[in-house]
């Protein structure tokens, strides 16, 4: 595992998430293409909670206390339980930025981590290396989601005009 590379990716991808969420109107950050879709604000709030309660917490857990109970999370439930779409957008962006910096500082302090350390689940082992790789990949999933939301929002606010001339999505 190239820790330096992974830290760089988390840094760059965190900045990209903030950039893709930025420059939108208040209406656009709350807008959802459908009732079951997430808004930009919900995506960023999800990233905040994943940063704090999932990836960072679970990586530290695997590395330091793999035999203790797994810290439970509820990413899907939190969207409504925590009222993600009613949160303050600017504050959410700032919290994400701060939490990502905290995560990067934590990762930079790791001294020869055992990437093969693991926790056992009914479905198999989850190693520290798997957790860090998944963290980086998780960012990419939500970067794609943010790009799709911006594209759909552009089509929405451009009505009655069409965006097909731009090319096939």
All domains in the chain, ordered by first residue: 3-166 (1.20.120.450)
d(CA 57, CA 73): 10
pTM of the model: 0.93
Tens-binned pLDDT, residue by residue, of the chain (169 aa) = 999 999 999 999 999 999 999 999 999 999 999 999 999 999 999 999 999 999 999 999 999 999 999 999 999 999 999 999 999 999 999 999 999 999 999 999 998 999 999 999 999 999 999 999 999 999 999 999 999 999 999 999 999 999 999 998 8
* Nearest CA-CA partner of 157 in 55, 17, 25: 25
CB within 8 Å of 52: residues ≥ 6 apart? 99
Half-sphere exposure of 157 (CA within 13 A, CB side): 13
């Amino acid at each position: 595992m190239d820790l330096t590379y992974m830290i760089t990716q988390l840094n760059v991808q965190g900045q990209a998430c903030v950039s893709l969420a930025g420059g939108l109107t208040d209406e656009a950050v709350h807008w959802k293409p459908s009732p079951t879709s997430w808004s930009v604000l919900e995506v960023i709030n999800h990233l905040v909670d994943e940063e704090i309660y999932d990836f960072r917490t679970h990586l530290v857990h695997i590395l330091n206390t793999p035999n203790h109970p797994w810290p439970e999370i509820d990413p899907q439930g939190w969207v409504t339980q925590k009222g993600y779409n009613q949160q303050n957008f600017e504050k959410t962006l700032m919290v994400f930025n701060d939490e990502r910096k905290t995560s990067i500082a934590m990762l930079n302090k790791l001294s020869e981590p055992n990437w093969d350390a693991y926790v056992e689940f009914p479905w198999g082992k989850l190693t520290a290396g798997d957790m860090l790789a998944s963290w980086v990949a998780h960012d990419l999933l939500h970067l794609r989601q943010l790009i799709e939301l911006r594209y759909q929002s552009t089509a929405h606010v451009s009505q009655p005009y069409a965006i097909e001339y731009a090319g096939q999505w």
